[in-house]
Amino acid sequence: MKRLILCLLLLCFLCGCTLQGSGDYLSVRPHVEQPISSPQGEPSQEPTPVRNRTELRGAILSLIRNWQEIGTLQIPEYEGDPESDLNEALLYATRKDPVGAYSVDYADGEIIEEKGTTYVQISIVFRRSAAETNAIIPVANSKEVLQKISEALDNFSTSLTLRIRNYTEEDFSAHILNYCMENPRKVLAIPEFSADLYPEEGSHRILELHFSYPEAKESMRSKLRSMQTLFQSSAIHAEQGQTQAERAENLFRYLTGRSTAYGVTGRTPAMPAYSLLCDKVAHDLSFAIVFHDRCKECGLRSSIVTGEKNGRKYYWNLLYLDGVAYHVDLFRSVGLGEQELTLLYDEDLLEEGYLWDRESTPAIPRPAELSPTEPNPTESQAPTTEPEPPTEPQPTESQTTETATESENTQASESESTSQEESTQPTETTTEEASEPDPS
C-alpha cells in the first residue's frame, strides 16, 4: 500500500501537476507553461530622403521639433554640396531658428557612405525637455505678449514661454511693475523676474520669462483674500463724501488714521498693499498703490508718479479734483503727522528734493493768488477763486454830481427859510429906554 501511494505521488510530480490540500482533501490542477517574453527592439524607421539644402534644413528642424536626439537622412541624388549645406543647415537650425535656439544645446552631423548610398547621421543634444518645448505658447505681436504676461501675473505663474511671430522691442520690466501697481487686488506681490530671447535678433523670436515670488502660490492667494475686506472697508468709508474733495479727504483719513501703529521701512516691500493694510508697515510705494486703487474705486481720477526724492527712488500720486491736478504724498503726510489731506504744487516738491519726468506729467504751478508764505491748501481749500462778500453799490459820477447839487439846493432852501423866519420875527424894543425922561 505504501509503495502504491508513493508511486501515485511520483506520477503526479512527473506529470507537472500541483497538489493543493486542506485536511483530508486533495485536488489536482494541471500546470500551464508560461511563455517567455522576448525583448522588443526599437521600430525601424526609414531614412528621410533629402535632395537639396532647403529639404535638408527642414528635415533637421523636424527632428528638433519632434525632440529626436538621433536621426538619419538619405541623400540619393543631392543638388549641391552636401557637406557645405549640412554645416549651414545645422547653424541655422540651432542658432537662427527660434525653437532650435531655445531648445538645442548642441547638434552635429556626419556624412557616411554605405553600400553605394549616401546618408547623413544627425545627433542632437537638447537643453530643454520635450515638455518645455511643447509648452511654448504662440502669439502674434507685442500686444498679445503683454496680455499673456498679465494673465501669468494674475495666476502667480513661475514661468512663461512665448513664440512671437512679429516681435518688437518692449520694456517688459516696466509693464510688469505697472501692471502690479495698477492691480493690487489681483496681483499681491511684485515678483522678481528674468527674461531671455531666442535667437538674439530677428522678428520671429521666443521669449522665456521666469518669475520669483516671496511665498508659495497658495499662501499668497490666501493673503489676497484676507486683504479684500480691508479694501472694501476703505471704499465704504470714502464713498460717504458727497463731493470729490470730501471723498478724497475721507480716504486720506482712513489710510493715515492708523499712522501711530505704522512701522516705517525704507526697503521696497514685495507685497506693497498687503504690507500696508495688514502688516501696517508704511512705505511710499505702498501708500501710492493703495491710494491710487482706492481713488479709482471711489470715482476719483488719479495716477502713480515714479520719481526720486533726495536721491532715492520714490513714489507718490497725482490727484484730480474737478479736473484740476495736484500732487499728493500720503507717506510724507504720515511722516509730518498731518491730519488733513495736503495738496502740493510743483514748487513744493522741488523745494523738498523731489525729481520726476516733468515732460510726461502735467505742470502743477502754485496759483498766483496764493502767497508763498501761506500754507498749502487742503482738499477743502482747493485753489478756486472765493466769491467776494456783497457790498453796497458805489454811485457813479453823474449820481455823485446830482447828489451834491441836491445837497446844495437843500442847504440853500434851509438858509432862505431861516432868513424868512428871522424877518418875520417881531423886533423887541425896551420900553424903559423909550419912556425915560430927559435928565435935563
Q: What is the mean pLDDT of residues 67-74?
A: 95
Its CATH class, for the domain covering 226-381, is alpha beta
**Confidence band, pLDDT 50/70/90 cuts, at residue 121:** very high
Domain ranges of the chain: 48-129, 136-213, 226-381
CATH fold of 48-129 reads Ribosomal Protein S8; Chain: A, domain 1 (3.30.1370)
**Confidence band, pLDDT 50/70/90 cuts, at residue 78:** very high
Instruction: Work out the mean pLDDT of the chain and round it to a whole number.
Output: 79
Can you tell me the distance from the alpha carbon of 235 to that of 194, in angstroms, rounded to the nearest whole number? Answer: 36
User: Residue 101 above 90 pLDDT?
Assistant: yes
In this structure, the number of other CB atoms found within 10 A of the CB of residue 53 comes to: 19
pLDDT of residue 185: 92
Q: Which pLDDT tens digit goes with each residue over 241-286?
A: 789 999 999 999 889 876 557 888 778 999 999 999 999 999 999 9
User: Residue 149 above 90 pLDDT?
Assistant: yes
In this structure, the number of other CB atoms found within 10 A of the CB of residue 107 comes to: 21
pLDDT of residue 372: 57
SS3 431: helix
Q: What is the mean pLDDT of residues 118-142?
A: 95
pLDDT of residue 348: 96
pLDDT of residue 16: 44
User: Residue 420 above 80 pLDDT?
Assistant: no
Helix (H) or strand (E) holding 193: strand 192-198
**Confidence band, pLDDT 50/70/90 cuts, at residue 213:** very high
Q: What is the mean pLDDT of residues 19-43?
A: 37
Q: Tell me 381's DSSP state.
A: G
Residues 6+ apart with CB under 8 A from 326: 318, 319, 320, 343, 344, 345, 364
Nearest partner of 89 among 77, 76, 71, judged by Cα: 71
pLDDT of residue 7: 47
Q: Which pLDDT tens digit goes with each residue over 390-415?
A: 444 444 444 444 444 444 444 444 44
Q: Give the residue with greater pLDDT, 236 vs 373.
A: 236
Residues 6+ apart with CB under 8 A from 200: none
User: Residue 95 above 50 pLDDT?
Assistant: yes
User: Residue 328 above 50 pLDDT?
Assistant: yes
pLDDT of residue 424: 39
Q: What is the mean pLDDT of residues 143-153?
A: 96
Q: What is the mean pLDDT of residues 115-138?
A: 94
Q: What is the mean pLDDT of residues 48-62?
A: 95
User: Residue 436 above 60 pLDDT?
Assistant: no
| Dihedral pair phi/psi, residue 61, rounded to 5° | -65, -35
Judge if the upstream peptide bond of residue 393 is cis by omega within 30 degrees of 0.
no
Q: Give the residue with greater pLDDT, 82 vs 383.
A: 82
Q: Which pLDDT tens digit goes with each residue over 339-380?
A: 999 999 999 999 999 999 999 999 999 988 765 555 555 444
**Confidence band, pLDDT 50/70/90 cuts, at residue 220:** very high
What would the grid cell of residue 195 be?
A: 527674461
% of the chain surpassing 90 pLDDT = 60
| CB contact at 8 A, 93 and 100 | yes
